C-alpha cells in the first residue's frame, strides 16, 4: 500500500515524501541535478536536512507497517 496525503500531518511532510519517491522511482539518486553541483540524493540531503537513504528506508518501513 502506498502512502497518501492523509498519512502525513503536514503538507511539508508530504512534499518531502513525494520528492523522495520521485527520486527513487526514476532511479536518479546518483544522477547529477541540472545545475551540475550535486547528485539528486545529495540535493535531497541539503534541501530537506535529511539523509536520503535513511529517509527512504524509514518511508519503506512506514508503508509496510500500514499495509500489515
pLDDT tens across the length of the chain (68 residues): 578 888 889 999 999 999 998 998 878 888 999 999 999 999 999 999 999 999 999 988 988 887 76
pLDDT of residue 29: 82
pLDDT of residue 41: 92
pLDDT of residue 7: 85
C-alpha to C-alpha distances, 14 to 4, 18, 30, 32, 36, nearest whole angstrom: 8, 6, 23, 24, 26
Look at the alpha carbons of 37, 43, 47, 51 in this order and tell me if their dihedral is positive or negative.
negative
Question: How far apart (Å, rounded) are the C-alpha atoms in residues 5 and 10?
Answer: 9
Question: How far apart (Å, rounded) are the C-alpha atoms in residues 9 and 11?
Answer: 7
H helix and E strand count, the chain: 3, 0
pTM across the whole model: 0.83
pLDDT of residue 26: 77
Amino acid at each position: 500500500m502506498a502512502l497518501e496525503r492523509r498519512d502525513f500531518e503536514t503538507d511539508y511532510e508530504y512534499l518531502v515524501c513525494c520528492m523522495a519517491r520521485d527520486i527513487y522511482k526514476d532511479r536518479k539518486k546518483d544522477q547529477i541535478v541540472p545545475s551540475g553541483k550535486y547528485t539528486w540524493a545529495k540535493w535531497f540531503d541539503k534541501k530537506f536536512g535529511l539523509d536520503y537513504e535513511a529517509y527512504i528506508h524509514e518511508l519503506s518501513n512506514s508503508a509496510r507497517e500500514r499495509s500489515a
